[in-house]
Structure 1
Amino acid sequence: MSNEKYEPLYFLGNRYNFEFLAVKMGYTEFVKLGITLTYPNTMDPYITVPDEFMKKIAYDLGAQADIRTGKYLVDCEQSFNSFEIFTAENKYIIEPKNFIIKHNPNDKQCELAFRSFKGFEQEVMLGLPFLHQYCMTVEAREKRVYFAPII
């Protein structure tokens, strides 16, 4: 495919990771010096980001945390910026339709499919919202992962 993008893989623990330089949503950006890793997770319905970034996007979106469920809720009718991930060679854009969850057609509050990491602040976990946007092919022997936009 001509629109495929690839990233070098790093095997750490029990998962494949790739480096990123920054993540961004609107005017909120998270940039760290040194090695910053992200990894796809096919079983998690959320994108997990550093706590500092989560607090900023929750504030920017007027998100309210539901104490009972731990979910962040936002006004379904407001406009949302895309979530962007920058690597050394590529930029991946996740559209709001993949991370704003409207559970019922009449809902006024939607779930924001983001969570925060407590502890290690240099990782981003890409759950189902990312995989709804990109098809992933891992070539473990070649130590790389390919992403192609889902059309």
Structure 2
Amino acid sequence: MDIAKIKELAQLLNDAGLSALELKEGDATLRLESAKFTPAQPAPAPVMQAVPAAEPQPAASAPAAPVPDGGVDFNALSEFKSPMVGVFYAAPGPDQAPFVEVGKRVKKGDVLCIIEAMKLMNEITAEQDGEIVDICVSDGDVVEYGQTLFKIF
């Protein structure tokens, strides 16, 4: 893929007001993402990032596989993605403890967070048992559909 074509795609992304654009040619994948902006602000220049071709992911319920040096195989992590667009809240209230923290074990059905969408508070629950190893967003962040919220092991 030549640089002129990438620049043309970046301009298309910016002109159309898109938040992301992905193009696959053979084994190569190119994903362009624009930084978040509000309608009152001008759109920032798109960020270009080459993404390697996707590899098959292990099953979500696969147990952690030990690696030879005694560590943990982090390829067995599951990403919990946002089921909707809205505002992410880590706790039930501003002065209350968060639903989950890094290192906490959760069971299927446990509340992980709240996403406010159209003035409705939606409790988001775990889809599997596991341990929270990363919280990928901050309290009060606007999240998009499909954005990774948590990494569960």
Using structure 1 for the length normalisation, give the TM-score: 0.27
User: Which structure has the greater CA radius of gyration?
Assistant: 2
Using structure 2 for the length normalisation, give the TM-score: 0.27
Greater relative CO, 1 or 2 (CA 8 Å, sep 6+):
1
> Is the strand fraction higher in 1 or 2?
1
